[in-house]
Copies of this chain bind each other. A is one copy, B any other.
């Protein structure tokens, strides 16, 4: 039988990162490709005790159907922490627990985007989000990312030139894949432009807690007096990603529709993972955990940068991140990093080529993304050494 795939999905490719992961399964291969948090930081022992406690003491709550909006005390905790840490507490907003921030992005798109509608994205941007937009037939318009965030003039032109712009998607803090942080001035400008053109902003902030210095960058959502910002967050990077606990905060009318969409999608996020996440977050000091995570990632990024300075050809430019998980490199010279990624596999090192993050994934890119959060110090250094060998061959 020839399955006639829907228009929205027929050209969808799986993330190239998934393909790269196949090579990474070989233990001799060093992967700097993923975006996995450091597994040594997972509070597994505490979660073991909590899972045991809930299943023993609250078996029905842990195992019966739950409500679509999410476990109420967890929603309450999320609202309180957003108010306390991010100054996000707009009246008239609501918060839904989702199965990872990815689900919030997908559901928002399902609820808002008709085929052919425009979504403005930073370019390069997170492929999980851009693929969600593509999967509903969105017309993606890219706005280049500078070291201080997206090009605001370009953004205004995109808002002027395109009809039916449904939202602007941005990761202002420690952006994926570039690691850049949007300046305060630009955050204000992006908000002002959204207001001027009557367009929603989807602010995705999975990395905001991971500032190396501890400095917090004001979210665009914290400036949202008009109710024009949807804010997506996650516990994947500060607790554990396998639990799949994220959230979306947005004007209540939008959350109501997203609840309907989530009910159709997975009914609700599993109860056990919500319960143990909530208990861990309220019985422990998350901010103290985050201090440790920050120190770990600051150290690992420094290890990677030192190795890059030692092993990479001088022509390779890169952006020093202030936090997050990634370092963005540019080899220049018209080098095609997609082709290079295949050569790198021969040297047992994998990375994500820059084209993955572009609106047009067939663009030839000299850029690539490196991750420093997953590998050990030794593997980071050895991985960068191997990459240096690959780069030296093409730049010689």
Q: Give complex CA distance A53, B18 in Å.
A: 29
In the complex, residue of chain B having the shortest beta-carbon distance to the beta carbon of A109: B6
Is residue A394 within 8 Å, beta carbon to beta carbon, of the partner chain? no
Given A1-B227, A13-B260, A18-B263; 20 other pairs, CB 8 A cutoff? A1-B251, A3-B251, A6-B111, A6-B114, A9-B111, A12-B261, A14-B263, A36-B65, A39-B59, A39-B60, A39-B64, A44-B55, A51-B55, A65-B236, A65-B241, A106-B265, A128-B263, A128-B267, A265-B265, A266-B266
In the complex, residue of chain B having the shortest beta-carbon distance to the beta carbon of A107: B265
Q: Which segment, of A180-188, A270-278, A281-289, A358-366, faces chain B? A: A270-278
In the complex, residue of chain B having the shortest beta-carbon distance to the beta carbon of A270: B244
Q: Which segment, of A97-105, A148-156, A329-337, A344-352, faces chain B? A: A97-105
Contact check, A102 vs B273: say whether CB atoms are below 8 A apart: no
Q: Give complex CA distance A394, B141 in Å.
A: 60
Chain A contact patch, size range: 35 or more
Q: Give complex CA distance A103, B100 in Å.
A: 15
Is residue A73 within 8 Å, beta carbon to beta carbon, of the partner chain? no
Q: Which residues of A line the B interface, CB within 8 A?
A: 1, 3-9, 12-15, 18, 21, 34, 36-37, 39, 42, 44-45, 47-49, 51-52, 55-56, 59-60, 62-68, 99-100, 102-103, 106, 110-115, 128, 131-132, 135-136, 166, 198, 200, 226-228, 236, 240-244, 251, 253-254, 257, 259-261, 263-273
Q: Which residue from B6, B66, B106, B131 sits with its C-beta under 8 Å from A113?
A: B6
Contact check, A63 vs B48: say whether CB atoms are below 8 A apart: no
Q: A13-B260, A39-B64 known; A110 and B135 CB under 8 Å? A: yes
Pull 21 A–B residue pairs with CB atoms less than 8 Å apart, ordered by A: A1-B200, A1-B228, A1-B251, A3-B251, A3-B257, A4-B112, A5-B111, A6-B114, A9-B110, A15-B263, A21-B67, A34-B65, A36-B64, A39-B59, A39-B63, A44-B62, A65-B236, A66-B242, A99-B266, A266-B266, A270-B273
Q: Give complex CA distance A272, B64 in Å.
A: 16
Q: A9-B111, A44-B56, A68-B18 known; A63 and B241 CB under 8 Å? A: yes
Contact check, A12 vs B260: say whether CB atoms are below 8 A apart: yes
A257 partner residues in chain B, CB cutoff 8 A:
3, 5, 9, 12
Q: Give complex CA distance A226, B56 in Å.
A: 47
In the complex, residue of chain B having the shortest beta-carbon distance to the beta carbon of A46: B55
The 4 A-B pairs at the shortest CB distance, nearest first, are namely: A44-B59, A48-B55, A63-B240, A51-B51
Q: Give complex CA distance A59, B44 in Å.
A: 6
Q: Give complex CA distance A14, B37 in Å.
A: 36
A44 partner residues in chain B, CB cutoff 8 A:
55-56, 59, 62-63
Q: Which residue from B55, B100, B240 sits with its C-beta under 8 Å from A266?
A: B100
Contact check, B242 vs A102: say whether CB atoms are below 8 A apart: no
Q: Give complex CA distance A366, B68 in Å.
A: 29
A63 partner residues in chain B, CB cutoff 8 A:
39, 42, 44, 47, 240-243
Contact check, A243 vs B266: say whether CB atoms are below 8 A apart: no
User: Most chain-B Cβ atoms within 10 A of its Cβ — which of A8, A200, A263?
Assistant: A263
Query: Within the complex, what minimum Cβ distance (angstroms) separates A84 from chain B?
Result: 25
A166 partner residues in chain B, CB cutoff 8 A:
4
